[in-house]
Amino acid sequence: MSDTNRGLIELRGKDSLKFLQGQVSCDLHQLSDDNFIRGCHCTPKGRVIFLFSAGLKDSDCIVLETHPSIVDTAIASLKKYAVFSKTKITDISDQKLSIEPELSDLDRLKAGIADITSGTTDQFIPQMLNLDLLNFISFKKGCYTGQEVVARAHYLGAVKRRMYLLNLSTNCVPEIGQALFNIEGKQLGTIVNAQANKQGQIEALAVLATSSSDIKRIVIDQTEISVERLDLPYELG
């Protein structure tokens, strides 16, 4: 079970599927009563606003499961584009509903699946979070908000930052969105998620410059620590 109750957003109305298909990175036509699909909603500049798992509640209703801290931001962003669509967007986080099999926050981290929160929204293009490697993105569907930027990074191979799984030699769990520096003071990347494992060690997902992915020592919160890169369950390429 997740350590954090997930946020739930309901889109209800006859235009819900058509509207959402034009806003998110995944192909919602692949949805059925028996499966869920993961995706993201981006700014026009291709920056991820929130991540979600989508499922059908009924024929005119789609539910998005996301991090609870980002629900209000996600709803506000979607509503900006829904003015002329017959869809009602509401927060139903108080309902007991699960879109995908529940993972603990640590299991999600070890699986290399980011959580975008209020502290990291609008910072990363999807490829920086490895979403292209996790089937969050369809490169065959039509246009959606931010699609040109995402497609350009994919087809030109212009991804200079990726998300890595790290073991940090510290007793303190770093804050989401905290910056990582090298010992010369140059910023290397950003903490996306962090958790203490069962042995009390700190593991983190961090977006780093690919040129810095094998660094052994970093500075976080003005403290120099050693860092070990751990294997993800998928290839970064």
With vertex at residue 88, the alpha carbon angle to CA 35 and CA 58, rounded to the nearest 5 degrees, is 30
Integer Cα distance of 50 and 122 in angstroms = 8
Q: Has this prediction a pTM greater than 0.85?
A: yes
| Protein fold of 161-230 | Elongation Factor Tu (Ef-tu); domain 3 (2.40.30)
- Listed in sequence order, the DSSP H helices in 23-137 are 71-81, 105-110
Closest alpha carbon to 36 in 67, 66, 3: 66
Amino acid at 210: T
- Burial of 117: CB neighbours in 10 Å, binned 0-12, 13-18, 19+: buried
The percent helix, strand, coil of the chain (3-state, each to 5) is 20, 30, 50
- Given a contact cutoff of 8 angstroms between Cβ atoms, the answer to whether 162 and 130 are in contact is yes
- Write down the pLDDT at residue 4: 59
Per-residue pLDDT in tens (0 to 9) along the chain, 237 residues: 345 589 999 999 999 999 999 999 999 999 988 899 999 999 999 999 999 999 999 889 999 999 999 999 999 999 999 998 999 999 999 998 889 888 889 999 999 999 999 999 999 999 999 999 999 999 999 899 999 999 999 998 878 999 999 999 998 999 999 999 999 999 999 999 999 998 889 999 999 999 888 889 999 988 999 999 999 999 996
- Write down the pLDDT at residue 10: 98
**Distances in whole angstroms, Cα of residue 181 to Cα of each of 41, 161, 214, 215, 216:** 29, 15, 13, 10, 12
Q: How many residues does the chain have?
A: 237
CATH annotation of 7-155: 3.30.1360.120
Give residue limits of the domains in the chain. 7-155, 161-230
